Every structure is written in C-alpha cells, then in structure tokens.
Amino acid sequence: MRIFNFSPGPAMLPEPVLREAAAEMLDWHGTGMGVMEMSHRGKEFVSIADKAEADLRALLAIGDDYEVLFLQGGAIGENAIVPMNLFGGHTVADYIHTGEWSKKSIKEAGKYGRVNVAASSEADGFTRIPERSTWRLTPGAAYVHICGNETIGGVEYHWTPDVGGVPLVADMSSHILSRPLPVGKYGVIYAGAQKNIGPAGLTIVIARKDLLDRALPITPSAFHWKEQAAADSMLNTPPTYAIYVAGLVFEWLLAQGGLPAIEQKNIAKAKLLYDCLDGTRFFTSPVRREDRSRMNVPFKLPDPALDEPFLKGAKERGMVQLKGHRSVGGMRASIYNAMPIEGVRALVEWMKEFERKHG
C-alpha cells in the first residue's frame, strides 16, 4: 500500500513514473539491459538524455539562448559553482537572505568573492520576502541571487524581481516545474532534482549562453558550465539513472497538460491546507499570506508536547514525514507536484480530528 509521503526531499514521485521505471528496470525498450547499465555515450542513453532535455525545454519554454545542463553536486554544490562561474571580472555579488537555504548560498559565495546581503527578512524570523523597494543592490554586481522557495521556512517568491541589467540567479530546487516560469527574466536557474524532478543526485542548470565566459580560472572542468555545455553535460559520467527518471517525470507533466495545468492542481492543494490553517486558532501558520509557499507548508500546534501524538496518529493513517525541520520545529507538509489532492484531504481531516480531541 502506498502512503502519503510529505517529505521535503527526497520526495515522492508520481506513481505512473515509478511503475514505468520498474517495468523497464531489467530491459529498456528491448535492449536487454537497464538504464543503469548503459554507457552514457551509447546511442541508447544519448537518446534518453536528448529527449529529457527537449521535454524540459518544452515545459519551461526555454529559448535557444540558454544552455540546459544535467549535472551533479546538488543545489548546495551549485552554491559554490555559481560564484565560480559568474565572479570572473567582478568583485561583488548581491544576495537576498530569506532563510536557511539563502544562508548556505551566502556562506559558500563568500569563499570566492565579496557578498553584499542586499536585503534580509531575518529580523522578521524569515516569515516573508523583503519588499523589492528595500533591496540595496550594487551597481555592476556580478549577479543577484535569490532562493525562489525556502523549503524550511515555507516562503516563496510569487513574482520575478526586476534587477535591471544584472543577471538574476535563482535556486529553484523546491518549486521548479510547479508553475510556468518566465525563464527569459533570469540569467541562471538551478535546482536539485529530489523534490519536483526526480531522484537525488541530479542537478538542473539553465544558464544564459552569454554568461558562460565569466568563470574564475580556478573553476574545475567538471563544474565549468561552458565546458560541460560543450560536452553535452557529459564531460564526466552524468547521473544517468536520475536523468532517465527525470525524463519520465517530464513526460508525466506534459501528459497532465503541462505547467499551467499542474499549477492549478498545486493552487487547489495549497488552498485546501491553508484554508484549514486559517480557519482555526489551534494550528498556526507563521508565513505572511502573500509569501506563503505552495510547496512547503510549515505549521505549529499550540503545545510542542502535542507534536509526537500528532505525528504518531498521522503515521497510523498513512501519512509520514510531517515533522518540521529541527531548526524551526513544528510540522511541515511538503506538497510537491506528485502529492495527490487526496493526500492533502487526508491531512486536513486528521488535523480537524486532532483538534477536536485536543483543542
């Protein structure tokens, strides 16, 4: 029996994707071998990678002026790889600090150049996105970096910042492919796969081609976007199986009607859960309403002593991974694309039942 897995990542995958991957585990399309056994340079895997890239470009309407790279290292790796690739010829980069993942990005970037924290919501407990009017940007900065969705704090940009002629760089690990995206307004988009794309081990990088000549001389070849682009993301052996499963997810998304259709489903799921939170004083949501994430919904019970009974009861009802991050406590429901609305309904029903017993 499948459970409702509210994990923030690695997260649940669409069941049809898992079934197709299972059916092809021993024999992909009559080749007599599984994808994990294929040469990454063989025609079979190259066809898988090419289709995955084409489908991702179709989903996000990515233009020919952008490279799409399938790399390794995760988003934390890209926290270092971004400045290595973009600091060349520049001395400072601007970062917007909206939570734990922004903090990690700032720390890594500081190893390669000067970081200006142009705005921060730390004083408000990272419960909102700082208004654009408060950002103190550096003229001629190498780039402006944002974390599009803070997985831990549940804060999401529902707008695209205007930063002038400076490249906008975004970590979109936990909300990429959850809605249409104006790719052309960004210089670089990167995302770890293990939330909305596929298995852990794959990192997607979408980089504007005119930014590929900015790498610092110390940049290793495996992390050098221009070199990887020239090698079709195969300068070193790529995470082949993760790319294959990501490709199946892209096919699944297209079959759902693409990102406009999946966005409507995500809006409905988030509304169901937030309406429950807003309709009670028993559970509380800390995030400012206009900045609430559709993907990661943190909430708290009135007494931390109730946390374990709540989690125990949820598990008994087929719902797991609802415990909040250790840095903030409470609960967190991650409701990525693969979470069906039935899972959110089950959670809301349990929340109301638990309140009746303990409220």
Residues designated as active site:
101, 171, 195
Please check whether residue 358 is in contact with residue 31, taking contact to mean a CB–CB distance below 8 angstroms. Answer: no
Give one DSSP letter per residue of 122-179, joined into a string: GGGTS-SPPPGGG--PPTT-S-EEEESEETTTTEE--S----TTSPEEEE-TTTTTSS
- Residue 86, classified by CB atoms within 10 Å of its CB into exposed (0-12), middle (13-18) or buried (19+), is buried
Please check whether residue 224 is in contact with residue 215, taking contact to mean a CB–CB distance below 8 angstroms. Answer: yes
Angle at CA 335, nearest 5°, toward 329 and 339?
Answer: 140
In whole angstroms, give the CA distance from residue 41 to residue 86.
Answer: 29
Q: Would you tell me the crossing angle of helices 240-255 and 15-23 to the nearest 10 degrees?
A: 130
Give one DSSP letter per residue of 230-280, joined into a string: HTTT-SS---HHHHHHHHHHHHHHHHTTHHHHHHHHHHHHHHHHHHHHHT-
Please check whether residue 316 is in contact with residue 275, taking contact to mean a CB–CB distance below 8 angstroms. Answer: no
